Amino acid sequence: MNVDLVIIGGGPAGMAAAVAARKSGLEDILILERDEALGGILRQCIHNGFGLHRFGEELTGPEYAYRYEKEVVDLGIPFLTGTTVVDIDKNRRVTAMSAERGIFTIDAKAIILAMGCRERPKGALNIAGTRPAGIYTAGTAQKFVNMKGYMPGKDVVILGSGDIGLIMARRMTLEGAKVHAVCELMPYSGGLARNIEQCLNDFNIPLKLSHTVVDIKGKDRVTGVVIAKVDENRRPIKETEELIPCDTLLLSCGLIPENELTKKAGITLDRVTGGAVVDGSRECDVEGIFACGNVLHVHDLVDYVSEEAEIAGRAAVKYIRGEKLRTNEIRVDVDGKVRYTVPKLISEAEDTKLYFRVGSVMRDVSVVVREGERVLLKKKKQKLAPAEMETVTLTKEMIESIDSGSISISVE
């Protein structure tokens, strides 16, 4: 099979990329989605708060997804659900499998990677103790509760203050469970401020910063967890250990972009984001392959995912038409306070939004973009926090004025 543009993943990123590509005039598009329906992880995010930036209203996850799904359908963009991509290579040959078609290959002129991310599992956290039932990532619990209609537990401790964990603290409470505490290893929350307010504070669920789980008890099912405060080097302080009887430990300790396919195509990954290194158009270092959404870097808001996916969708069409110009590449360096930027490379002279995250909470600071000593842009910020993605926009003029091949972004 030959297809101009194959989009891997039919979640918010994949759908927005497809819609943007079609609106740029590309006919031959195919979305491949492993789940039984379009929508990705939004399908299980039945809480509201999606779409404030995009649509100026608060939608639930399924509502947000449906807006894009409807566009995909209305525009007649073909998609295959129940279809898992098992391989891609640098020549843009995609191998996929589905019950209807078996194992089949597609040769694509361009590919957009939109596979999303996964949660960090317990194993990666090296928590001591037994391995009974009752330990789930927050997203797994969310699937049990929202998609299957079952309760994974009734007395809950949550480790990690990522957004899904916060959302599930509220969700489990509403379902009649008791959430005893949310423990966060870092001295600041991993989730959005609004989620701390609406999901924890409104329900009197304590957020224990600088705390971790040091032991899990129970043989068949979890019977309790031991939590402890950690010192400035994140080492548990023995004297502060406290046993919390519970039947469930939920983990919300970070999201990891799912880049197994990306690696198969030989694409270079950024060690900080875990996603591909891309230029402003979201093209990877393997030609004709683009990435967007949480597979590229983990976003806080789906609104930004859609925005980024549109960039990738439009750029892929330009690439297919042979119109994608790579002028001189500009590298964006970070200072450590800024952990990363996406994109990391700017290859076209057009207005470019740099998304970035910082490594710690900072107040009353300025974000400064420089070429050598020359200040290109300076933006004051009241507060920067690791959980909140930030942006600065470089104008076409600024980019055209850069001639050294690199700029730097710093917080001061």
- CB-based contacts of 327: which residues, under 8 Å, 6+ apart? 347, 348, 349
Please report, as residue ranges, which positions from 104 to 123 form the binding site for other proteins (by CB under 8 A): 118-119, 121-123
Which residue number, 215 or 335, has a Cβ lying nearer to other proteins? 215
Please report, as residue ranges, which positions from 67 to 86 form the binding site for other proteins (by CB under 8 A): 82, 84, 86
What is the x/- site pattern for other proteins, positions 257-296, by CB under 8 A?
A: ---x------------------------------------
> Number of residues in contact with other proteins, rule: CB under 8 A?
50
What is the x/- site pattern for other proteins, positions 300-319, by CB under 8 A?
A: --------------------
User: Binding residue for other proteins (CB under 8 A) from 25, 176, 322, 336?
Assistant: 176
Give the Cα separation of 357 and 329 in Å (integer).
22
The CA-atom distances, in angstroms, between 407 and each of 283, 349, 370, 393, 398 are 19, 14, 6, 13, 11
To the nearest whole angstrom, how small is the minimum distance from the Cβ of residue 49 to other proteins?
Answer: 20
Query: Could you give the angle at the alpha carbon of 98 between the alpha carbons of 94 and 99, nearest 5°?
Result: 160
The CA-atom distances, in angstroms, between 263 and each of 74, 266, 289, 298 are 34, 5, 12, 18
Q: Is 293 helix (H, G, I), strand (E, B) or coil?
A: helix
Please report, as residue ranges, which positions from 224 to 253 form the binding site for other proteins (by CB under 8 A): 247
User: Binding residue for other proteins (CB under 8 A) from 52, 97, 272, 377?
Assistant: 97
Which residue number, 21 or 65, has a Cβ lying nearer to other proteins? 65
To the nearest whole angstrom, how small is the minimum distance from the Cβ of residue 316 to other proteins?
Answer: 24
Span interacting with other proteins, options 25-33, 68-76, 135-143, 397-405, rule CB under 8 A: 135-143
Q: Is 100 in the site for other proteins (CB under 8 A)?
A: yes
Q: Is 359 in the site for other proteins (CB under 8 A)?
A: no
The CA-atom distances, in angstroms, between 279 and each of 51, 77, 276, 339, 361 are 26, 26, 10, 17, 28
Q: Is 136 in the site for other proteins (CB under 8 A)?
A: yes
Q: Is 351 in the site for other proteins (CB under 8 A)?
A: no
Which residue number, 213 or 368, has a Cβ lying nearer to other proteins? 213
Give the Cα separation of 145 and 385 in Å (integer).
30
Which residue number, 70 or 221, has a Cβ lying nearer to other proteins? 221
Which residue number, 180 or 282, has a Cβ lying nearer to other proteins? 180
Q: Is 220 in the site for other proteins (CB under 8 A)?
A: yes
**Beta carbons of 305 and 15 less than 8 angstroms apart:** no
Span interacting with other proteins, options 145-153, 320-328, 375-383, 395-403, rule CB under 8 A: 145-153
| 26: its two tokens | 């590309």
To the nearest whole angstrom, how small is the minimum distance from the Cβ of residue 104 to other proteins?
Answer: 8
> Strands (DSSP E) along 64-128, which ranges?
79-80, 83-88, 93-98, 102-113, 117-119
Pairing of strands 255-257, 117-119: antiparallel
Give the Cα separation of 149 and 208 in Å (integer).
29
Name the residue among 267, 409, 402 with its Cα closest to residue 327.
402
Query: Could you give the angle at the alpha carbon of 235 between the alpha carbons of 123 and 199, nearest 5°?
Result: 65
Give the Cα separation of 14 and 24 in Å (integer).
15
Q: Which residues contact other proteins by CB under 8 A?
A: 34, 82, 84, 86, 95, 97-103, 118-119, 121-124, 126, 128-133, 136-137, 139-140, 143-145, 147-154, 175-176, 214-216, 219-221, 247, 260
